[in-house]
């Protein structure tokens, strides 16, 4: 029998080895904290400006205010009323949620089919979808507008929701995840008597929740911030999205510091729904990003 000797490492040597790692972690945290503060600082200044008093206060040109002269929360109520932001908020929620949910269902079905179903022409369809990703979306706006106009959809929710609902990037996001799922899982469901619809929504969809959450929050934010397409297809103010309503504070609402303060209050107000969506989907978002980076 050969006896194995165990050598213990002195505590001082262990500490010497851990010290560089601790220093590196501290530096990383400090750098990330500084970058986060630099990113948040403009939002902080915007918030301070949104609560500055409108009456009896004239800011000094060129001076940056890090704290309000007095807290005037009524700016938010005034901005919401004068800019009709509640109507814009309602329309944007309808468009963003409808677009994101319908698009998520499409990418789930198409991504699953391209990954797990074998049929003639699958490779051709995959290559064709990849080619479409090389075309900027702005180039398709003219043809999309002509299509919407010919269908008499201008100034309707259909024009705001349906064009662009097939997201090729989302399809390949789901496909990449489904490629890592063993076929035995789906075969076991088939043996248990599950049909395609049941397999898709009871087995495939729960597995894809991290990916779908990632897609949901990114698509929701993109739709929330979209300005160009709603401006092209919407001529009815009752259907204006929140981004179109914000134009009031830059053009139709006058000028001066009062307008600047109300505009800041309106901008901060429009951030709240996006923050709520991100807070709800945060854990699933991080999981989806990790999964999408595995392969």
pLDDT digits (tens, 9 = 90+) for 263-275: 888 888 888 888 8
- pLDDT band for position 103 (cuts 50, 70, 90): very high
Whether the predicted pLDDT of 288 surpasses 50: no
Max CA separation in the chain (angstroms): 93
pLDDT score recorded for residue 255: 56
- Please give the mean pLDDT across all residues of the chain: 82
Q: What DSSP character marks residue 52?
A: S
Mean pLDDT lowest for which of 1-15, 89-103, 265-279? 1-15
Q: Give me the pLDDT at residue 106, please.
A: 93
pLDDT higher than 50, residue 12: yes
pLDDT, position 289: 47
Condensed to tens digits (0 to 9), the pLDDT of residues 182-240 reads 888 788 878 877 778 888 888 888 888 888 888 888 898 899 989 999 999 988 888 99
Q: What is the pLDDT of residue 241?
A: 92
Q: What gap in Å lies between CA 202 and CA 197, rounded to an integer?
A: 8
Q: Is the pLDDT of residue 257 over 80?
A: no
- pLDDT number for residue 96: 92
Span 72-87, average pLDDT: 87
- Going by C-alpha positions, the residue among 41, 53, 293 that lies closest to residue 177 is 293
Give the mean pLDDT of 80-94: 90
Q: If you search the block for the tokens 């303060």, which residue do you land on?
A: 261
| pLDDT value at residue 10 | 56
Would you put residue 2 in left (φ > 0), alpha (ψ -120 to 50) or beta?
Answer: beta
Tokens of 125: 């369809």
**Residue 78, token pair as written in the block:** 């005034």
What is the per-residue burial (b if ≥16 Cβ within 10 Å, else e) of 209-236?
Answer: ebbbbbbbbbbbeebbebeebbeebbee
Helices 85-116/122-132 angle, 10° precision: 150
Domains of the chain: 74-292 (1.10.3720.10)
Q: Give 128's contacts (C-beta < 8 A, 6+ positions apart).
A: none
Average the pLDDT over 169-173 and give the result: 90
Q: Given pLDDT bands bounded at 50, 70 and 90, which one contains residue 285?
A: low
Distances (CA, A) of 292 to 186, 220, 237, 281: 20, 19, 40, 16
């Amino acid at each position: 029998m050969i006896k194995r000797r165990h050598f213990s490492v002195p505590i001082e040597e262990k500490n010497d080895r851990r010290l560089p790692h601790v220093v590196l972690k501290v530096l990383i945290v400090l750098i990330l904290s500084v970058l986060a503060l630099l990113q948040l600082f403009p939002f902080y200044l915007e918030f301070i400006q949104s609560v500055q008093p409108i009456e009896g206060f004239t800011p000094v040109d060129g001076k940056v205010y890090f704290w309000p002269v007095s807290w005037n929360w009524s700016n938010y109520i005034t901005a919401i009323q004068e800019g009709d932001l509640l109507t814009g908020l309602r329309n944007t929620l309808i468009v963003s949620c409808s677009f994101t949910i319908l698009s998520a269902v499409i990418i789930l079905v198409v991504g699953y089919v391209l990954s797990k179903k074998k049929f003639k022409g699958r490779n051709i369809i995959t290559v064709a979808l990849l080619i479409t990703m090389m075309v900027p979306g702005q180039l398709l706006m003219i043809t999309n507008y002509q299509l919407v106009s010919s269908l008499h959809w201008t100034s309707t929710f259909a024009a705001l929701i349906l064009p662009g609902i097939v997201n090729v990037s989302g399809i390949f996001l789901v496909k990449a995840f489904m490629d890592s799922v063993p076929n035995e899982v789906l075969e076991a469901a088939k043996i248990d008597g599950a049909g395609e619809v049941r397999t898709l929504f009871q087995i495939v969809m729960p597995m894809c929740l991290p990916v779908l959450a990632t897609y949901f929050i990114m698509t929701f934010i993109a739709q929330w911030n979209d300005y160009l397409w709603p401006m092209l297809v919407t001529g009815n103010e009752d259907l204006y999205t929140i981004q179109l309503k914000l134009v009031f504070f830059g053009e139709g609402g006058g000028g001066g510091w009062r307008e600047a303060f109300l505009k800041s209050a309106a901008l901060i107000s429009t951030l709240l729904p996006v923050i709520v969506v991100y807070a709800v989907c945060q854990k699933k978002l991080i999981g989806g990003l990790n999964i999408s980076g595995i392969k």
